[in-house]
Structure 1
Amino acid sequence: MFDVLRKINILPLVKEPSPEVYQQVLEKYPKYREEEKDQGLEYRDEANRSRWSFFDEYEYRLPRLTSSKPLTRFGWFDPDDTPAEKRLIMKLDIILTLYCFLIYWIMKLDQANINNAYVSGLKEDIGLEGNDLVTTQALYSAGAIIFQLPFIYIIPKFPKNYILPIMVSGWGVMTLLLFEAKNPAGVKALRFFVGVFEASWYPLMHYMLGSWLKPREINRRAGFVYCAQFLGTITSGLLAAASITHLDGYLGHKGWQWMFILDGIITLPVGILGVWILPGTPYRCSSIFITEEEVVIARERLKRGPNDNHQLKLFDRQLWKNILTSWKLWIPMLADVAFWCSCQIPSSGAFILWLKSLNRYTSAGVNNMSTISPALGFAWVAIVVTIADYGNRWMGIVFAEIWVIIGAIILAIWNVPESAKWFAWCTSYFSISMSASLYSWINDICRHNAQERAIILLLVNTMAQTFSTWTSVVVFKTVESPRYLKGYCFTAALSFTLICLVFVMLWFYKKQERKDARLNGIVLYNSELAETTDPSEASESDRKMDIIEQKCSI
């Protein structure tokens, strides 16, 4: 079907650069030639390696001697990026990073509106009672969890610039239809399908970023995209307040109904435009904004990165043996489960329900006040991403989780001055501010195989959402709001668990990076032992490197 639409010039064509274009790029930019790369090897003596080096994630990723310019960890571009690379990255920042920002803003707008509608008349008009709100949220999560599984096959196989627009348009339609809901069952069914269409978004976004960008370029851009979550929550509160104040009763619809109508109208056109805007991947690029020369540059600058042209069949035994026997699945999965379960204070709507329980504000006032906590989330993301880029990703994650533990303990105690509760609510978004750093790290861990990366991102996200869904029903029951004692204690415990798992993941990561040092232009040896790294310890990526070099020599 896609091929037929391309023939009649409705859909953009896939760009496959000719050998002549490849040759022109190699002649124009000598840094991509294999012989130039070989000359850039660094020979590193580990005889006097400090024990504190364990805490440096990038120890085996930053060649210290070969760069012609000082290499800093924080910066929008690498010092050795050519002008052409910088132009490409700037384009990607617009058509990929900024577009993903818009999508995430819309997704969070469509996701958070149920809490705003609940305190703005939906509860009374539809007849929601008891734990209906948390059940509705759980059904949304169930839809997202169940329908992530088919994307294990879909994401590696089909064009990304078609998958995402279709899904965005789908959840836009479901959100729009919510204004016609007449009973609790209708709301729950539509929210389930909103979750179905949003299922692939977050893993797919990180997959696309990882397909075009170097590992150290992902974190700051993922952090920028993640800020859209807070903007969506803020916008949802402000839109709810405006709908109640100005549109309540207009054309026979309540204010909360107008909120769903406006959300749907905003979502649909942005989703459809993605077909022509999104770049796909370097090996299947169809964006009208990327030239063939830039496709070659993108492939060459990630030469040791993923190539999504070489894939095993989905049910190939070797594929699943590689995945299921690898730490790259299980350790990140445990960390992500702890992350999702530790960030339920913002997602539970506890803050807005607490505001309503004070009986000081009107419905519009409650919605306006509820934007304070997510607004501060912008600052928390900026702080965490900066720590992760200037220092290490584990530092940003641990820093964020310390604040989460402090806030959760305050809320668990509960009988504290109101100012202390405000402090806890205002720091609660630290819990989700480190998501960009965690997922960027997982993306980096799986960078050598595009197919395995897509599967692992989806499995990790699916399992984490699964645990988050059933635990939220148990520890954040609506009838216990706003003092979710079990929920706050659970959050503190899982945050501490996440900190422990981060150091476990760091240990496995450093061990793997040492094996893969040759891929990064670093040859390790120990002058005291008079030996280099044991060849028997060579990883899959080492063998991949040897194969590539053999082909180049031929």
Structure 2
Amino acid sequence: MSADTPFKRMKWGFLPRRRIVDEDEDGNFVDMDQISQKLSSNDVNSEKNSEIIVNENDESTGIVYEYRDETNRPWWKFFDEYEYRVKTEVKNNRKWYHWFHEDDTKLEKKLITKLDILLCFYSLIAYWVKYLDTVNLVNGYLAGMPLPKDQGGINMVGNDLIDTQVIFNIGTVLFQIPFMYCIYAYPLSYVLPAMDIAWSILTVLTAEVKNTGQLQAVRFLIGVFESGFYVAYHSLLASWYRSSTGELARRAGAYYIGQYMGVLTSGLISGGIERVFGGVPGQSWRWIFRIDGILSIVVGLIGFYVIPGTPADCYSIFLTDDEIRAARRRMIKDNVGFRPRKDVFKQFFDWKLWKTIFSSWHFYVLSIWCIFLWNNASGPAGAYALWLQSLTKADGTARYVGGQLQELTSLTPSLGLLYLILVCMFADLFKSRWGAIVISQILNLTGNLMLAIWDLPEGAKWFAWCLQYFSWSAAPVVYAFQGDICRFDHRQRQVLLVSMNIIAQTFSIWISRLIWPTVEAPRYLKGFSTITAFTFMLIVWTILVLYLYKRQERAHAKENGIIFINDQSDEEVVVSK
């Protein structure tokens, strides 16, 4: 058997080990400076508009610079998101209907294809089962958890549902703080599958709880083990895929499909279970947790072998040495920093790093942006499902019961799946992440406002509910945007990614407890009014982020291969790296 087969790349014959490629005994990369200097030697740019004067090859580095005159720059160029991020040739070569960029080599296309299978597709499946284990609480609630104990339930009453969801979120938020270091220092190809298996076992054990207190304790622990999931996969995607060529937004969108699939199939699975066990008291909701947990355990075990780590610290048994080298070159070309090779602990807790983070606009602006994103939806509260449950026939009996009720909860996430694809395609087709966010949130604002008004014909409410998942459709674009904004320093990117998520979820915990009390279902006046306001602010804040992002990219234009001439306003504030 060849020494370079996947089986030979595993420790003890079953666990993937770190791949050593072009590194010295201290783990430092060999000749990476020379590689980074020659990356753009073959780039060719042509004159595309009046702003671009000439392209010139810098012989010292081999980089072809694009020279621009911005004297008569039109006002509408403010909305050109990639104006300073990439050279005109790279931007114009991006075709939304091409999966690969025109500049990708044969080796890079092979690498990207492998990553799409190993990382992108697996992250979709992992997010699917993760969300099965998250939203099954609402389905379990509909399937009989509020029933008295002698009828097979656990006697959930009053605000027990929203309180249990809040306790889950508290576990998620608290343990993201130590995970901020784990995501930076430890191999995610080990950490993520182990955490997946842990919360999956707890999901199975949820079927055995006897009262609300036990349920809340188990859900807290599930939140603990799920704490790093969301940000970890966004970090992995940003470590392998390039933002400048549109790769990252597409893959973040594909990853996010898993969330919608989780919500959608959870209703379908729960409906099927309800039809099978509906006649046996207390069995439907218990089997919902058992089946979801078993599926998650299987996916977690697969994760040990398909999660590739990062280009700098690769654990993949399927990538060749040349593909790992190509991955590193690609990310250097995109100005993406790597994790320090030594003194990892010391460099992470370097006070200069934290001073830089807390003195930058990134921390404050992006955290507030994320707060608006996390609080613009009614989906997490189960508002749509509780509205369906409240509908009655002419004789006053419930209109939807059993499996029919569970299956109808899949309507809005199935539409959301379509919205997600359209929003991510828009971001790539029109080279406008900010535009995709704004348009999706205008539609979300429309639905939220209609539900806040509430006194509308039932058909109008159905229409408003069908717009519900435009709220989450912008999330992959927002997180991909964040990864691009904070790409220069690996440490800062990881800290900012986790910290903005922690802050947003912390706000979401107390806000959701205030505006989504279960006893106010399905009207939720406070809830729908609040998310309408947050959606509006998300739109406004996105424009601010666009302005600050363009200012940053203009300051780093030379690193992006762009030099300005005859510039009368070159007084931009250079953000720290």
| Structure 1 and Structure 2 fold alike (TM over 0.5) | yes
Tell me if the contact between 2:41 and 2:64 (Cα under 8 Å) persists in the aligned partners: no
Against the structure 1 CA distance between its residues 87 and 352, is the aligned structure 2 distance closer, same or farther, given a 3 Å change threshold?
same
Distance 2:314 2:452 in 1: 50
Q: Confirm whether residue 260 of structure 1 aligns to residue 289 of structure 2.
A: yes
Against the structure 1 CA distance between its residues 47 and 416, is the aligned structure 2 distance closer, same or farther, given a 3 Å change threshold?
same
Which residue does 2:82 correspond to in 1? 58
Matched residue count: 528
Distance 1:495 1:465 in 2: 16
Q: Confirm whether residue 47 of structure 1 aligns to residue 71 of structure 2.
A: yes
Distance 2:401 2:93 in 1: 56
Q: Confirm whether residue 342 of structure 1 aligns to residue 376 of structure 2.
A: yes
Q: Confirm whether residue 17 of structure 1 aligns to residue 17 of structure 2.
A: no
Question: What is the CA distance between 1:526 and its match in structure 2?
Answer: 2.1
Question: What is the CA distance between 1:7 and its match in structure 2?
Answer: 5.0
Distance 1:354 1:63 in 2: 51
Which residue does 1:244 correspond to in 2? 274
- Give % identity: 38
Moved more, 74-83 or 110-119: 74-83
Q: Confirm whether residue 363 of structure 1 aligns to residue 402 of structure 2.
A: yes
Question: What is the CA distance between 1:456 and its match in structure 2?
Answer: 0.5
Which residue does 1:105 correspond to in 2? 128
Distance 2:87 2:38 in 1: 19
Q: Confirm whether residue 307 of structure 1 aligns to residue 311 of structure 2.
A: no
Which residue does 1:441 correspond to in 2? 481
Q: Confirm whether residue 204 of structure 1 aligns to residue 214 of structure 2.
A: no
Question: What is the CA distance between 1:328 and its match in structure 2?
Answer: 1.1
Tell me if the contact between 2:119 and 2:308 (Cα under 8 Å) persists in the aligned partners: yes
Kindly report the root-mean-square deviation, in angstroms, between the aligned alpha carbons of the 2 structures.
2.4
**Of 283, 302, 327, the match for 1:298:** 327
Q: 2:408 is aligned with what amino acid?
A: M
TM-score by length of 2: 0.87
Write out per-residue CA displacement over residues 443-490 of structure 1, whole angstroms, 9 at most, x where no aligned residue.
111111111111101000011111111111101110000000010000
Which residue does 1:384 correspond to in 2? 423
Which residue does 2:116 correspond to in 1? 93
Distance 1:474 1:539 in 2: 38
Moved more, 13-22 or 501-510: 13-22
Q: 1:340 is aligned with what amino acid?
A: W
Tell me if the contact between 2:337 and 2:490 (Cα under 8 Å) persists in the aligned partners: yes
Write out per-residue CA displacement over residues 489-524 of structure 1, whole angstroms, 9 at most, x where no aligned residue.
001111111111111111111110000111111112
Distance 2:23 2:443 in 1: 54
Distance 1:307 1:165 in 2: 23
In the TM superposition, what are the counterparts of 1:433-472 in structure 2 within 5 Å? 433-472=473-512
Q: Confirm whether residue 517 of structure 1 aligns to residue 557 of structure 2.
A: yes
**Of 516, 522, 544, the match for 1:476:** 516
Q: 1:48 is aligned with what amino acid?
A: N
Question: What is the CA distance between 1:41 and its match in structure 2?
Answer: 1.4
In the TM superposition, what are the counterparts of 1:111-150 in structure 2 within 5 Å? 111-124=134-147, 125-150=153-178
Distance 1:506 1:435 in 2: 16
Distance 1:136 1:537 in 2: 46
Q: Confirm whether residue 277 of structure 1 aligns to residue 306 of structure 2.
A: yes
Tell me if the contact between 2:263 and 2:410 (Cα under 8 Å) persists in the aligned partners: yes
Tell me if the contact between 1:161 and 1:278 (Cα under 8 Å) persists in the aligned partners: yes
1:337 aligned counterpart, secondary structure: helix
Tell me if the contact between 2:10 and 2:317 (Cα under 8 Å) persists in the aligned partners: no
Question: What is the CA distance between 1:22 and its match in structure 2?
Answer: 7.8
Which residue does 2:414 correspond to in 1? 375
1:129 aligned counterpart, secondary structure: coil
Distance 2:11 2:422 in 1: 48
Question: What is the CA distance between 1:249 and its match in structure 2?
Answer: 6.8
1:123 aligned counterpart, secondary structure: coil
Distance 2:463 2:575 in 1: 47
Distance 1:58 1:489 in 2: 35
Q: 1:385 is aligned with what amino acid?
A: C
Distance 1:249 1:177 in 2: 22
In the TM superposition, what are the counterparts of 1:144-163 in structure 2 within 5 Å? 144-163=172-191
Distance 2:248 2:310 in 1: 15
Tell me if the contact between 1:338 and 1:497 (Cα under 8 Å) persists in the aligned partners: yes
Tell me if the contact between 1:341 and 1:494 (Cα under 8 Å) persists in the aligned partners: yes
1:428 aligned counterpart, secondary structure: coil
TM-score by length of 1: 0.91
Moved more, 69-78 or 174-183: 69-78
Q: 2:19 is aligned with what amino acid?
A: K
Against the structure 1 CA distance between its residues 92 and 65, is the aligned structure 2 distance closer, same or farther, given a 3 Å change threshold?
closer
Tell me if the contact between 1:283 and 1:309 (Cα under 8 Å) persists in the aligned partners: no
2:68 aligned counterpart, secondary structure: strand
2:143 aligned counterpart, secondary structure: helix
Which residue does 1:404 correspond to in 2? 444
Question: What is the CA distance between 1:274 and its match in structure 2?
Answer: 1.1
Distance 1:375 1:450 in 2: 36
Question: What is the CA distance between 1:6 and its match in structure 2?
Answer: 6.4
Against the structure 1 CA distance between its residues 190 and 478, is the aligned structure 2 distance closer, same or farther, given a 3 Å change threshold?
same
Which residue does 1:235 correspond to in 2? 265
Distance 2:68 2:331 in 1: 23
Q: Confirm whether residue 353 of structure 1 aligns to residue 386 of structure 2.
A: yes
Which residue does 1:289 correspond to in 2? 318
Write out per-residue CA displacement over residues 382-425 of structure 1, whole angstroms, 9 at most, x where no aligned residue.
12112211221111111111112111111111111101000011
Question: What is the CA distance between 1:30 and its match in structure 2?
Answer: 7.4
Which residue does 1:551 correspond to in 2? none
Against the structure 1 CA distance between its residues 368 and 45, is the aligned structure 2 distance closer, same or farther, given a 3 Å change threshold?
same
Tell me if the contact between 1:337 and 1:468 (Cα under 8 Å) persists in the aligned partners: yes
Distance 2:262 2:466 in 1: 17
Distance 2:230 2:173 in 1: 12
Which residue does 1:550 correspond to in 2? none
Tell me if the contact between 2:40 and 2:63 (Cα under 8 Å) persists in the aligned partners: no
Which residue does 2:360 correspond to in 1? 326
